[in-house]
Amino acid sequence: MSTFAYYNISTTDVTTISAIDSVNSTSIAQDIKGSPKCITMCNKDASGDDCTIELYLENSGATSTVYILHDVIIPGGSTLILEQPEINFDSTVYALKFKLTTVAATQLVDIKIEY
């Protein structure tokens, strides 16, 4: 059964959209999300402006960054969808992070993640 996470992003702050999974002997399957199956990113800018985004993996000490998307433009009113294998990663080592690099007063990106 799929689970979902939703985000509404309107700032240039980095947003962790999939945290590092900590796995131990007491973890139950529902606690371990793993890599997302699908990520949907929608540019909902009210004025129709393009937005520039970054999607990347970062380890716990922020000593390693691996970009999935870097300076990618999503046109106003458009949606970008990523699926596996492009977003397949070791969720016990890396967190998935999103950054909106350009922000106008009306900039808004909605993100839906399916696990």
pTM, rounded to two decimals: 0.86
d(CA 105, CA 95): 28
Number of H helices, E strands in the chain: 0, 8
Q: Which of 114, 14, 96, 87 is nearest to 56 (CA)?
A: 96
97 beta partners: 16, 56
User: pLDDT tens-digit profile of 64-106?
Assistant: 999 999 999 999 999 999 999 999 999 999 999 999 987 677 7
**Cα 66 from Cα 58, distance rounded (Å):** 7
Q: Which two tokens stand for residue 36?
A: 């997302």
